[in-house]
Chain A
Amino acid sequence: MNAVTSVAPAKFDVNEIRKDFPILSRLVHNKPLVFLDSAASAQKPRAVIDAMSFAFENEYANVHRGAYYLSETATTNYEAAREKVRTFINASSVNEIVFTKGATDAINLVAASYGRLALKPGDEIMLTALEHHSNIVPWQLIRDQTGAEIKVVPINADGSVSVDAFARTIGPKTKIVAVAHVSNVLGTILPIEAIVEMAHKVGAKVLVDGCQGIVHEKVDVQALGCDFYAFSGHKLYGPNGIGVLWARAELLDAMPPYQGGGEMISTVTFKQSTWAEAPAKFEAGTPPIVPALGLGAAIDYLNRIDRVGAIAHEHDLLHYAMQQLPTVPGLKLVGTAQNKASVQSFTMDGAHPHDLATVLDRSGVAVRAGHHCAQPLMEALGVTATARASFGIYNTRAEVDALVAALHKARAVLL
């Protein structure tokens, strides 16, 4: 609503940023919280919490329905949030922004709707070995319905995906390429522009799973050149229950509805119904109204801070962690590609990641352990699980030190 874009943001200062996130001042097991699981879901700044409370307390009603003041206000705010998303990712029109429940919902939408439209028996869907289950299973469902096949681009030992490997896998039968922008396990940043170029040469469309990419990179969908970009609000310091599918207007126009219900129709009779235009065509039912406003507030927040400085800060944390973690005996980094965002997996000889996570937690350090919804990747890496530290804009080098100290303690308990 009132994004102050004209004023240059203050230089990035993590101590100032931390003050914006109320939860960071709490204790866990009587220790200061060291939250290193933002890749699963990020903490929320006061601005998001306040915007959502304000909406519930002052401006709440259903959208696109009532001809009364509150409904009009809610509708205006909801559509304003859509415009904020549009600017944030530099889409050419708000009609290309579909609000969904999350990235999973967005990818399922594309697989079910565009997949049914585009895939014939023998056609190929191309994925990479590092995809999240959310960018695998929806494609298996549509594969089984259409007779298409799934091809998987392998990864290198360091967790990178080489353009050559794509070139070897892609072919004239490739119709859809679905890839993560940034791996949620390894942090690898994928060469999206190069992938898009190859895909478009063979006439395939590219879906980018931007769950992590939107958080750690400045995203310009037009510059990336992809056809679909999906992400969740909750990893971008916004609430859960809201996500975004960006798609080229002509694709959304051609695609059949994904779900039927209120909001998405033009006329309904028992004989036949006609659809609204996109994005409404893909937003059946009452949408996540206040979560959409919360996402708008998160975007406003990110626009207010020095985002370039924030991304540089995350890189500093990543490189510091990549230096410090291997000083712990038996610790191995998993994912060491050149081009990486601030997500670092690791294993420790003789200690299972779950046991590590349990012991770290008692030091106040929250890390993720498990397969991270990427079992095929775990198999490719030859492990059943990893521990993962992921760094957001509010983390500090001191927290990396706390992680390292807690890992030493964990060795004493477990080994």
Chain B
Amino acid sequence: MTAPDDVKNDDLKSLYQEIILDHGRNPRNARIVEHHTCNVKGNNPLCGDRITVTARLSAGQVIEDIAAEGKGCAISIASASLMTEALKGVSTETAQKLFVAVQKLCKGEVDVAAAQAMVPSALSEQIEKLASLSGVKQFPVRVKCATLPWHAMMSCLAGRNDATTEGVSEGN
């Protein structure tokens, strides 16, 4: 009886690590980017969480600034916050790679080293931070909380020039 109990507490601890709680409580870049070139409202229709992602891209497809603001659970808000920190100054091509790596981390399909191998080495440290989101892998219904801001970000980058897409939802 006690062993499985500990396992469960560990699950909760790895889901709600200090870094997640911190970013959930005090999200970084929770604002609207000035002179943004793209803008997307991400919306999880199942729970009503909403996140607006705005970004300003340079002519050379580099993310000069990115921000995310909205209402959501600790996981989605922390994920959005970590995402904006990771993506500033990154090319849209790299952002796409990071998106895939984070998705795989959240589903428990790769470990940190494998995720790092998927992105340029300059982002290794970011991957270590983003790996704090991988606690959701023990909570299948919460995976979409972690990936919501990333889906919104992907539509934002793809839609460019103030395209607004309502209802970005997790494909699984």
Q: Which residues of A contact B (CB under 8 A)?
A: 29-30, 350-355, 358-359, 362, 369-371, 375, 378, 384-385, 413-414
Contact = CB atoms under 8 A, between A and B. Distances in A.
A64 B46 CA distance: 39
Contact of B21 (A30, A358, A359, A414): A414
Contact of A358 (B13, B48, B142): B142
A158 B116 CA distance: 52
Contacts of B139: 358
B5 A352 contact: no
Contacts of A370: 46-48
Contact of A355 (B11, B46, B50, B73): B73
A371 B1 CA distance: 35
Contacts of B9: 362
A384 B49 contact: yes
Given A369-B47, A384-B48, A384-B50, 17 more contacts: A29-B8, A30-B8, A352-B72, A352-B73, A354-B49, A354-B75, A354-B142, A354-B145, A355-B73, A358-B12, A359-B12, A362-B11, A370-B48, A371-B47, A384-B71, A385-B47, A414-B74
Contacts of B74: 351-352, 355, 414
A354 B47 contact: yes
A359 B13 CA distance: 10
Contacts of B25: 350
Contacts of B1: 30
A378 B47 CA distance: 11
A362 B138 CA distance: 12
Contacts of A369: 47
Contacts of B49: 354, 384-385
B157 interface: no
A350 B8 CA distance: 23
Contacts of B4: 29-30
A354 B73 contact: yes
Contacts of B47: 354, 369-371, 385
Contacts of A30: 1, 4-5, 8
Nearest to B2: A30
A375 B12 contact: no
A408 to B, nearest CB: 14
Interface in B1-40: 1, 4-5, 8-9, 11-13, 15-16, 21, 25
A275 B47 CA distance: 42
20 contacts: A29-B8, A30-B4, A350-B25, A353-B73, A354-B47, A354-B49, A354-B73, A355-B73, A355-B74, A355-B75, A358-B139, A359-B12, A362-B8, A362-B12, A370-B47, A371-B48, A384-B71, A385-B49, A413-B16, A414-B74
B155 to A, nearest CB: 21
A353 to B, nearest CB: 8
A352 B74 CA distance: 7
A98 to B, nearest CB: 30
Nearest to B136: A358
Contacts of A371: 47-48
A28 to B, nearest CB: 10
Q: Identify the 4 closest CB pairs spanning chains A and B, nearest first.
A: A352-B73, A371-B48, A354-B73, A384-B71
A281 to B, nearest CB: 34
Contacts of B21: 414
Nearest to B5: A30
Contacts of A384: 48-50, 71-72
Which residue of A355, A385, A413 has the most chain B CB atoms within 10 A of its CB atom? A355
Give the interface centre of A351, A352, A359, A369 by most chain B CB atoms within 10 Å.
A352
Contacts of B8: 29-30, 362
A355 B15 CA distance: 10
Contacts of B16: 355, 359, 413-414
A378 B12 CA distance: 28
A414 B16 CA distance: 7
Contacts of A353: 73
Contacts of B5: 30
A354 B72 CA distance: 9
B73 to A, nearest CB: 4
B8 to A, nearest CB: 5
A103 to B, nearest CB: 20
A350 B24 CA distance: 10
A26 to B, nearest CB: 15
Contacts of A413: 12-13, 16
